[in-house]
Amino acid sequence: MPRVKNDLKDIYEFSCIIEVRMGDINIGGHVGNSQMIAITHDARIKLFKELGLTELNLGDGKTGMVVADISANFKAEVFLDDNVVVRSQIGEILKSGFRLFQCVECNGKTAALIETGIVAFDFEERKGTALPEVFKKRLQDYLNR
């Protein structure tokens, strides 16, 4: 069966540590697949906060974001009370969206590679829109620091 294969990136500009909680553990005794996506979502929120942004405000006060697609490769188990390092990189920036590449590491091993397609969204108009220039500038400023 063909598999989606996400690539490990050479550079991840942002990283944070997230502790695995009881609610992240599935019946198999390790972090479940949906919980791993939730952990990377927490890391995305922290990344946006670092940029002075939120998922509902990409800098212009009216443009937010929605997830258009997501793919995940699970590589190693993660357990209760583990501290995972989530590394993130924003790439493939286009007119109305970008891709977020994330690597989850635990105990020196790659536990998951997650790739998310994100689209700029005007929540008032309920439709996709262009990425605000302020978002692109904050990202560039962050990368050049």
Q: What per-residue confidence (pLDDT) applies to 42? A: 98
Residue 102 domain-assigned? yes
- Give the CATH number of the domain where residue 136 resides: 3.10.129.10
List average pLDDT for each run of 10 residues in the chain, which is 145 residues long: 89 97 96 97 97 97 97 97 97 96 97 98 97 95 87
How many whole angstroms from its chain centre is CA 49? Answer: 12
Angstrom distance (rounded) from CA 13 to CA 93: 15
Q: What per-residue confidence (pLDDT) applies to 2? A: 80
Q: How many CB atoms lie within 10 A of CB 27?
A: 6
Residue 124 domain-assigned? yes
Of the candidates 63, 41, 60, 67, the residue with the CA atom closest to the CA atom of residue 121: 63
Angstrom distance (rounded) from CA 110 to CA 77: 9
Which residues share a beta bridge with 54? 57
pTM: 0.95
- Number of folded domains that form the chain: 1
